[in-house]
Amino acid sequence: MDYNFTAEHEAFRQEVRAFLARTLTTEFWERHRAKGGGSSSPEFSQAAGHEGMLAIAWPPEYGGRGKGFFDQMVYTEEMVRAGAPIEHHRRAVQQVGPSIMLFGTEDQKRDYLPRIARGELSFAMGLSEPDAGSDLASVSTLAIRDGDEWVVTGQKRFTSGAHFSDMLWTVARTDPEAPKHRGISILLVSLDLPGVRVVPLIDLQGRHHFNEVFLDGARVPASNVIGDVNRGWYVNASTMDFERSGIARWAFLERTLRRALVEPASAGPAAEAGARSRLAAAAVRTEVAQLLSHRVTALQAGGGLPNYEVSVAKLSVTETIQQVTNTALHRHGMHGLLAEEDQGDAEDAPDMAWGSLYLDSIRHTIGQGAAEIQRNVIANRGLGLPRG
């Protein structure tokens, strides 16, 4: 494939940059900070949706621009490079919407997709549970059919953005007697339903990004099932591929590496010599990670559904992020250990202290499927190795 962007892609890049320049003004950031700051801004999401800057590759009948996957990639790169507060719409546009297009009914597509494209509908992912993390097939959240509703009871943990989202993409067990990879369904649960409670989980840096979500007999319309009942494992597998293949992490890695390369060190010549060598190796890995991410986009553009390829891309990017932040931290000696409390998400704070960035980097190889899970996927589905 040709990894170079076309003139049309670069023209679209300039369009995105112009939108960001007139939207992320000093006045916008002042309003954003006055509201508490962070990585989510309904104001920004709706402004982007109004100008057709969210669902770039979606068909026009669903509110999209009808452009290609490489245009969507260009958009994502520029959003992350600018530190735009994209969390209000990111999961809805990147994961939920494409999954509804693949597995949803026509009514669901007409209902949800235009609202997502306008930046009006936000989603959190109700996946992990106290006893089901990377082994998502072990979920115990139970959904029991009662007439035209599902009665949902259970607990979700490490649910990013549930405190500002409208709905929960929920993995629930709808047939307790079936083998654990079967009998699972995907339900869309409104977070303002009776019986739904969102409790903050504060991370080691004092930030409120994660939540626990308790479902106590929440009654969900039967029409809110995505795909076939008891086939949710396969629906969610595609949803996770959409998430892992995102170019956003690579753009964040690139921004972090560039900062590390231009900042002067403060730990002395000996430490600097070793650090520059490690940063050079990280720069090579960053280029490889970019090509791997572009490969995923190329497969999507060709009508394919990438699988193990997204695991390769995710593993490459996330481990390189840890390499860069670890190296940059050591370049500054004891000063590099400094961390800042509650400065928001790293993706939206390019000048965050290296100590904070290093602590934040730990989550990258855990979230959306731990590194060990990614290696299993690569071995089984990519290399055809037998399961151990």
Burial of 188 (0-12, 13-18, 19+ CB in 10 A): buried
Catalytic residue, candidates 78, 212, 243, 309: 243
Any idea which residue has 């989980």 for tokens?
A: 201
The yes-or-no answer on residue 347 being catalytic is: no
| Cα end-to-end distance, the chain, whole Å | 35
Which residues form the catalytic set?
Answer: 243
